[in-house]
Structure formats: C-alpha cells, structure tokens
C-alpha cells in the first residue's frame, strides 16, 4: 500500500489554505509537508484524492474529492460537535442535494436553516478528536456500495489533519459490514485486527 501524506498549501498572504490528501510514496505515511503553489500543481496529478479548503480564518469550508467521480452522488457535510460527551466527540454527516455545493462543510447552526432531517443523511462518521479513534461509521442502506463510507472516512481524516487533531484510526470492534469495509480499504493498517463483531447499526425493519 502506498503512503498517505498531506500537503499544506497557502496561495497568497491573507488567503486561505488548502490541505491535499495524497497517496503515493513520495513522503512517509502520515507526513504533513508544506508546498508552494507550483509544487501543489504537480501533487494534484500524482496521487491527490481530496482537498480541504480553509478560509482566511483557518475554518474548513469544503472537503472536495480530486478528481471528481461521476459514479457517486456529490456529497456535502454537516459537522456536529458533542462537546459535553465523555469523551467529547465529532460527527461528520453526509448529505446530497439541497442546493449545497459539493464538499461544503456546515456547522450545526448553519444546517438549521436548511430543510433537512436525519432521514436525509446518506451516512455519518463519529470519532473522538482527542485521540483520533473512530467510534462509528454508518451508511444508509440504500446508499451502500456507492463508496459513501470511503468518502466519509477520507473527508473526516483530512478534516482532522486540517484541525491539527490526531490522525484517525480504528480499534478491533466492528460490525460485519464494517469488517468487509476495512478489509477492502487502502487504509486497513490503521484499524486493528478484528477482536469481536458488534451488532449492525441499522435498526431492524
């Protein structure tokens, strides 16, 4: 498996920053490297698969796949903080449509202005930002086998890097579908070997 590393690119003084998630062997796995704009242009053609776009105040505003894939729905996200949870957790919830640009990242307050509900979500990932441990990954049954889970995990991983949080990883507790997902992924070395199967997250019909 090729290493996954991250490039931090600032275009002009006072502008926002781009974080590129890149999969190739040019740097150590997990490395964060500063690049100028010309170097970033080369990286975009040599293994980049996601960009996190930050505004001038270092707020993550978009998580955009690179290059776009026509076989999946365009996703945008709502970030929900659980500050009072023990330990505090973060959720990245995926939606599509509703006149939002692909990759947009809204906070919970901004999302209240949209006519969406939990039934509209395509999937979600929940993790503990203090350690990077992923707690849950969920994809709505009608949207499985559309790479929604992969897009959620890589988007959450790039968001964590942009926030200077620990890198995401998983323990050995998974659903049966989660074990299939882990074994088919390119980042399976960041999830421990299976220790036991947990019940599926989808409620019985």
pLDDT tens digits, one per residue of 8-65: 987 666 678 889 999 888 889 889 999 887 777 776 667 888 999 998 888 999 999 9
Question: What's this model's pTM, rounded to 2 decimal places?
Answer: 0.86
User: Which runs of consecutive H residues, i.e. helices, occur in 44-191?
Assistant: 108-111, 148-162, 176-184
Mean per-residue pLDDT for 97-109?
92
CA 148 – CA 124 distance, rounded (Å): 9
> What separation, in Å, do the N-terminal and C-terminal C-alpha atoms of the chain show?
39
Over 70: is that where the pLDDT of 182 sits?
A: no
């Amino acid at each position: 498996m090729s290493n996954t590393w991250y490039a931090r690119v600032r275009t002009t003084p006072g502008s926002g920053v781009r974080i590129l998630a890149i999969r190739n062997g040019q740097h150590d796995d997990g490395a964060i490297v500063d690049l100028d704009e010309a170097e970033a242009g080369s990286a975009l053609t040599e293994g980049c698969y996601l960009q996190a776009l930050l505004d001038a105040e270092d707020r993550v505003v978009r998580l955009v796949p690179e290059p776009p894939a026509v076989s999946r729905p365009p996703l945008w996200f709502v970030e929900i903080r659980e500050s009072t949870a023990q330990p505090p957790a973060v959720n990245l919830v995926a939606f599509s449509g509703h006149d939002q640009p692909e990759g947009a990242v809204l906070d919970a307050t901004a999302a209240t202005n949209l006519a969406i509900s939990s039934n509209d979500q395509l999937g979600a990932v929940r993790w503990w930002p203090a350690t990077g441990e992923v707690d849950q990954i969920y994809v709505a049954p009608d949207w499985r086998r559309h790479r929604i889970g992969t897009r959620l995990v890589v988007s959450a991983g790039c968001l964590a890097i942009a926030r200077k949080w620990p890198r995401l990883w998983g323990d050995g507790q998974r659903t049966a579908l989660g074990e299939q997902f882990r074994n088919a992924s390119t980042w399976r070395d960041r999830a421990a070997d299976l220790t036991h199967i947990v019940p599926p997250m989808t409620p019985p019909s």
